[in-house]
Amino acid sequence: MTSTDRPTWDEYFMMMARDVVAQRATCTRRKVGAVLVRDKRILTTGYNGSPPGMPHCTDVGCWVVENHCIRTIHAEQNAVVQAALHGVSTEGAVCYVTAAPCVNCAKLLVAAGIKRVVYADKYTDSYGEQVLRDAGVILEQYTGK
């Protein structure tokens, strides 16, 4: 944080993604949170969890295929879905996410008009990062607290 103990905008939104949104995640393997922001205002949030009405990993266990849990929707996907459900445009928004997007989430973020992605932890591969760079999306690893 800054010397005045007031978080920067990146710190603020990353804290929201990590300390609030990710805590709702229902996958027991990894808790991921995402916050979509435009003009310093939160548009939507998302965490990794099962689609509405379907069983969660916390209830029935993870469904692991090739070392990935496929029972859940990723945090970024849920954030974009929430925007679609509520008629919120994501054009020009920033995505704060606790893990770098996978390749499918990266493609979704590009298609949703996201202009910048700030992530905390690396993903298991870098394909998503490559997709974002190729599309001209600003990609930054968050190294703050």
Q: Are 79 and 46 in contact (CB under 8 A)?
A: yes
Active site residue 76: yes
**Tokens (6 digits) for 138:** 């600003």
- Residue of 66, 76, 91, 140 with catalytic role: 76
Calculate the dihedral angle through the C-alpha atoms of 96, 82, 62, 104, rounding to the nearest 10 degrees.
-60
Residue with tokens 């202009």: 115
Residue 99 CA to residue 141 CA, distance in Å, equals 9
Residue 71 CA to residue 79 CA, distance in Å, equals 17
Furthest CA-CA distance within the chain: 47
Positions marked catalytic:
76
